[in-house]
Structure 1
Amino acid sequence: MAVELKETIDKRREEIMDACEKLYETLGFQSINIKVISTETSFSRPSIYNYFQTKEEIFLGLLTREYMKWNDALKNITDKDSVMDRDALAGAIAKSMEERKTLLKISAMNLYEIEENSRDELLVEYKRIFKRTIELFDECLKKHLKVSEQKREQIRYAFFPYMYGIYPYAYPTEKQISAMDDVKLSHRDVTVYEMTCQFLKLVL
C-alpha cells in the first residue's frame, strides 16, 4: 500500500510540474501562480497544496527533474566505450544541454527566488541532484580527456556560471532585439548548442 501511495503522489506531482512547464513556455514567472497552474491540471487549487506549498516549490521540482534528465545524458557520455577528443566531448555535452531549455531558462531567470521560497528539505534534494551533475561532468572530463583534478575544478567554475547565462542569448525577446537594433548593438542568432560547444572548446 505504501508503495502504491508513493507512486500516486509521484504521479500527481509530475502532472502538476508538467502543467507548470507548459505554462512557462508562454508565460513569465510572475504571471504563473497556483490558481493558473490548477487550470492546466485535474486538481483544484487547494488540492495542489497537498503536494507543493508554493509555486516556487513546483518550479524547484521541475528544475530537479530537469537535472535528473541531464544527469542521465551525462552518464551516457561517461559510459561510452570509445574515448572522445576535445571537440567530440564538447559536442556531446553541448547536445545534452540543447535538450534542457527549461533548465536553462529557470537557472537564468528565476533560480534565486525559487530557492528562497522553497522548503529546506526540497532545496537539499535539489542540491543533491545538482551535486551529482557536477560529479558526472567531472567524470566526463576525467575519462575522455584525462584532465587533472585542479584543471577539472577550473573548468567547472568557468562552465557552470557561463551556463546560467546561455538562455537569454539563445532566446532573446522581441523587445530586447528591438532595443538592441535601436542602439545599433550588433547581435546574431545563436543556439544553445553553438554557445555551449564554442565555450567548451575554449576551456577544455
Structure 2
Amino acid sequence: MPKVSEEVLLARREEIIDACAQLYETMNFKDITLKEIGKVTTFNRTAIYNYFNTKEEIFLALMQREYDLWVADLEELLNDHDSLKRDELASALSHTLEKRSRLLKLLSMNHFDMEGNSRYENLVEFKRSYGRSMQTVRKCLDKFCPEMNEAAKQSFIYAYFPFIYGIYPYAVVTDMQKKAMAEAGVDYKYLSIYEISNNCLRKLLGVD
C-alpha cells in the first residue's frame, strides 16, 4: 500500500465504518459483505483489507463508535447538572440511550458474531470503549446518588448493562411480528426505547 498520512488512514477507516452503518439501515447483518461495503466507499474493496480483516471487525468498530458517542452524551449529562433527583436521573439516562438505537440493535442482534470473528487487538480497543461506558454511568451514580453504597452501585451496573442488550427487539417490532403476536393471543404492550429504559432505571433506582 502506498504510504499515506495518518489523517488519510483514519479518514478511510471512518469511511468504511460509515459505509457499514449506511448498509445496516436497510440490510441484514448476514447479507452485508465486504464486497457490498466496498461498493459504497471511494476506494476498491481490496483496500478494505488494509484496515479490517473481516466484516465483523468493521461492525465491531461501528459498535465501538456508538459506545463512544453514548459516553460523550453521558459526560455532557454529568457536566450540565450539579444535581438530579433519582427520577430525573432515570429519565436523563434513558434519553441518552434513546439516541443509540443502532448500538442497541448491534448488541441484541450481532454482538456475539462480531466479537468472535475479530482480531484480539480490535477486541481490546472495543472493550476499552465498553468499559468507559460502564465507568461513566458509574460516575453518574457517584455524582447524583451519593447516598448509594458501593454494593448498590455495583448491583445497578450488573443489572442495567445486561438489561440493555435486550431492549431493541422489544422496542422495534415489525408489522408481521405484531400480527403474529395478535394471532397468538399474546397480550403485549409496545413501548419505546426510552420507556423501556426508564421503567427499568426507576426500579433500579428505587423510584416509586
Which residue number in structure 2 is paired with residue 67 of structure 1? 67
The alignment's TM-score, normalised by the length of structure 2, stands at 0.93
User: Displacement of 1:81 after TM fit?
Assistant: 3.9
Specify the alignment match of 1:52 in structure 2: 52
The separation in 2 between residues aligned to 1:45 and 1:86, in whole angstroms, is: 50
How does the TM-score come out when normalised to structure 1? 0.95
Aligned match of 2:168: 167
Moved over 3 A (4+): none
Give the 5 Å matches for 1:35-114: 35-114=35-114
Q: Contact 1:104–1:163 (CA<8 Å) still a contact in 2?
A: yes
Q: Which residue of 1 aligns with 2:194?
A: 193
Identity over aligned pairs, percent? 42
Q: Give unmatched runs, 5+ long, in structure 1.
A: none
Number of residues of Structure 1 aligned to a counterpart in Structure 2: 201
Deviation of 1:80 after TM superposition, in Å, equals 3.0
Alpha carbon RMSD of aligned pairs, Å? 1.2
- What residue in structure 2 maps to residue 140 of structure 1? 140
Partner of 2:122: 122
Whole-angstrom CA distance in 2 between matches of 1:82 and 1:139? 13
What do the CA deviations read for 1:30-81 (whole angstroms, capped 9, x no partner)?
0101011111111221111111110000000000101111111111122234
Tell me if the contact between 1:142 and 1:148 (Cα under 8 Å) persists in the aligned partners. Answer: no
Name the amino acid aligned to 1:203.
L
Measure the CA separation in 1 of the matches of 2:136 and 2:200: 18
User: C-alpha displacement at 1:82, in angstroms?
Assistant: 2.2
